[in-house]
Amino acid sequence: MRSLQCVPCILRMVWMRPDRMTDITQASNAAALDPRSLAAANVRLEELWSCGTEFLGSRYAILGGAMSWVSERHLVSAISNAGGFGVIACGSMMPDQLAAEIAATQALTDQPFGVNLITMHPALDDLIRVCLEAKVGHIVLAGGLPPGGAVRAVKDGGAKLICFAPALVLAKRLVRSGADALVIEGAEAGGHIGPVSLTVLAQEILPHLRDVPVFVAGGLGRGEAILSYLEMGASGAQLGTRFAATRESIAHDNFKRAFYRANARDALPSVQLDERFPVIPVRGLINEGTRQFMRHQLETRDRFLSGELTRDQAQLEIEHFWAGALRRAVIDGDVEHGSVMAGQSVGMVTGEQAIPEVIAELVEQAVSAIALRSL
Ligand SMILES: Cc1cc2nc3c(=O)[nH]c(=O)nc-3n(C[C@H](O)[C@H](O)[C@H](O)COP(=O)(O)O)c2cc1C
């Protein structure tokens, strides 16, 4: 009854003030104050992502997307301990390093977590074996369509396989070839990206793919947005940027501060200057490094045109420009010349938060948005 009396003033707050976004949040909080609607909303959220929580074995269907150099034992265990699902980024680690990282993570959490392997890693088979020997339950194969042998090794070893699907036709093919779950990552995301936004990928894929859990990623910073994708048929969400600069993250303070200062418009994809020399787009904060990359591409193209470099040599020169650049930014703190990978959701990272706080906030926003509807 009390909540019913609030309707006119909540509507006034939502529609009559200029700063609607803040007011919707206030209205949501008002709804969340009603314990009965809050409890019902919690149940509804649990229903909506039950496929995801069942698949992951976590309390919430929120994955901490693997981030090279960032997603190590501390971040991953903190995400899993807070009810999410942490994922170790293997990146360029060799099998013995990965084994040590998994063991260290297992020492910090008894909750499930996964490992993300890049398919073009030269030791992919050994890395899969390391995961299976350590009884890792979920393996993510990223960076291109996984080779058949890798898919079989994961499945035969008893782990669940998660793959990235950049389009509906590939999503269906991945499921046919054995993927147990998919991540659809929009171009809003931080790191290596495809060309299509999550808004469009979700419409293309979610209504047509109900056989396996599908997790959405890219540009997600609030629980209301996650909720909207759950209602379209997603089983959960994967976030990277919101976790990268948390208290538990080992990233350098300079890297974290760059996140707190940045707006969505500062997180741009790398630009390719010549169609003969492809550049895989990477979304990150623009800095001196990104400006130097433009000059480097022009100079390399000129060296190719003058006959100094073959086409292959020029391509390699361009690809090598960013070698080690993410480590330079994340670990060494060189945010001017390193690669500060970040998604457009970086604008929603405004200060240091602990991981349990971030996860609780996302869940509360989703629950409040549901509770508001029952008023
Ligand atoms: C700093 C950084 C490093 C990343 N490294 C990887 C990686 O090594 N492998 C991978 O599959 N995805 C990587 N990603 C993508 C994340 O796993 C995740 O899918 C993405 O961050 C989700 O979008 P969001 O940043 O908008 O939350 C990275 C993202 C960031 C921000």
Does residue 283 sit in the same domain as residue 322? yes
Residue 72 CB–ligand 1 contact under 6 Å: no
Find tokens 């209602």 and name the residue. 231
At 8 the pLDDT is 30
* C-alpha to C-alpha distances, 269 to 168, 172, 188, 330, nearest whole angstrom: 23, 28, 9, 18
List the helix and strand counts (H, then E) for the chain: 18, 11
Q: Is 191 in the pocket of ligand 1 (CB under 6 A)?
A: yes
- Which pLDDT score is estimated for 36? 86
CA gap 281, 195 in Å, rounded? 8
Compute CA 235 distance to the chain's CA centroid, rounded to the nearest angstrom: 15
* Segment (H or E) for 227: helix 223-231
142 lines ligand 1 (CB under 6 A): yes
Q: Residue 192 and residue 262: Cα distance in Å, rounded?
A: 19
Which residue did the predictor score with more confidence, 2 or 202? 202
pLDDT at 129: 98
Supply the mean pLDDT for the chain: 91
Atom of ligand 1 nearest to the CA of 241: 25
> Residue 24: inside a domain, yes or no?
no
Predicted confidence at residue 20, as pLDDT, reads 36
Examine the domain organization and report whether 290 and 161 are in the same domain: no
Which band of pLDDT confidence, cut at 50, 70 and 90, is reported for residue 144?
Answer: confident
pLDDT at 332: 97
57 in a structural domain: yes
CA dist., res. 146 & res. 158, Å (int): 17
Nearest in space to 88 (alpha carbons), one of 78, 100, 102: 102
pLDDT tens per residue across span 44-63 = 999 999 999 999 999 999 99
Q: Could you tell me the two tokens for 185?
A: 């990552």
Q: Whose CA is nearest to atom 8 of ligand 1?
A: 68
The CA distances from residue 165 to 202, 224, 226, 233, in Å, are: 11, 23, 18, 15
| Atom 2 of ligand 1, residue of closest alpha carbon | 67
What is the percent of the chain where pLDDT is above 70? 91
Tell me what pLDDT residue 33 has. 57
Is residue 216 in some structural domain? yes
Residues 112, 235, single domain; the answer is yes
Q: 116 - beta bridge partners?
A: 89, 140
Kindly state whether residue 23 falls inside one of the protein's structural domains: no
**Considering only 22-26, 141-145, 334-338, 356-360, which range has the smallest mean pLDDT?**
22-26
In a domain, 9, yes or no: no
CA of 50 to the centre of ligand 1 (A): 24
Both 109 and 56 in one domain: the answer is: yes
Closest Cα to residue 86, out of 116, 54, 45, 131? 116
* Cα 190 to averaged position of ligand 1 atoms, centre (Å): 5
What CA–CA distance (Å, rounded) separates 45 from 50?
Answer: 8
- Residues 183 and 221 reside in one and the same domain: yes
User: Whose structure tokens read 């990272």?
Assistant: 349
SS3 assignment, position 268: strand
Each residue's pLDDT tens digit, 279-333 = 999 999 999 999 999 999 999 999 999 999 999 999 999 999 998 999 999 999 9
Kindly state if the Cβ of 343 falls inside 6 Å of ligand 1: yes
pLDDT of residue 288: 96
* Number of separate domains in the chain: 2
297 in the same domain as 156: no
Task: Report the percentage of the chain scoring pLDDT > 90.
Answer: 87
Is 217 a pocket residue for ligand 1 (Cβ < 6 Å)? yes
* 234 and 311 both lie in a single domain: no
Q: Specify the ligand 1 atom closest to the Cα of 186.
A: 23
Amino acid at 196: V
Residue 3 has pLDDT above 80, yes or no: no
pLDDT tens, residue by residue, 204-239: 999 999 999 999 999 999 999 999 999 999 999 999
* 233 lies in the same domain as 277: no
pLDDT in tens, 86-142: 999 999 999 999 999 999 999 999 999 999 999 999 999 999 999 999 999 999 999
In a domain, 368, yes or no: yes
Report how far ligand 1's centroid is from the alpha carbon of 312 (Å): 28
Q: What are phi and psi of 121, to 5 degrees?
A: -60, 130
Pair (142, 282) in one structural domain: no
Average pLDDT, stretch 61-69? 97
In a domain, residue 14? The reply is no
Residues 199 and 77 in one domain: yes
- The pLDDT value recorded for residue 168 is 97
Cβ of 68 below 6 Å from ligand 1: yes
Using the structure block, give the residue that is written with the tokens 């793959």: 163
* 236 and 336 part of one domain: no
Among 63, 67, 241, 341, which residue has the most ligand 1 atoms within 8 Å of its CB, making it the best to mutate? 67
Q: Residue 58: its pLDDT value, please? A: 98
CATH of the domain at 129: 3.20.20.70
Question: Whose Cα sits closest to atom 10 in ligand 1?
Answer: 66
Q: To 5 degrees, how large is the angle CA 193–CA 195–CA 200?
A: 110
pLDDT value at 29 more than 90: no
CB contact set of 90 (below 8 Å; sequence gap of 6+): 66, 98, 101, 115, 116, 117, 118, 121, 127
Same domain, 149 and 291: no
Q: DSSP string spanning 59-96?
A: SS-EEE---TTTSSHHHHHHHHHTTSEEEEE-TT--HH
Answer yes or no: is 12 within a domain.
no
**Ligand 1 contact via 193 beta carbon (within 6 Å):** no
Q: Measure 310 CA to ligand 1 centroid, in angstroms.
A: 33
- Residue 9 clears pLDDT 80, i.e. is over it: no
Q: What range does the domain containing 182 cover?
A: 37-252+348-374
- The token duo for 147 is 């080779």
How far is the C-alpha of 372 from the C-alpha of 375, rounded, in Å? Answer: 6
Round the CA-based radius of gyration of the chain to a whole number and report it.
22
- In this structure, of 3-17, 152-166, 186-200, 350-364, the range with the lowest mean pLDDT score is 3-17
Strands of the sheet containing 282-285, edge to edge, are 191-192, 282-285, 267-269
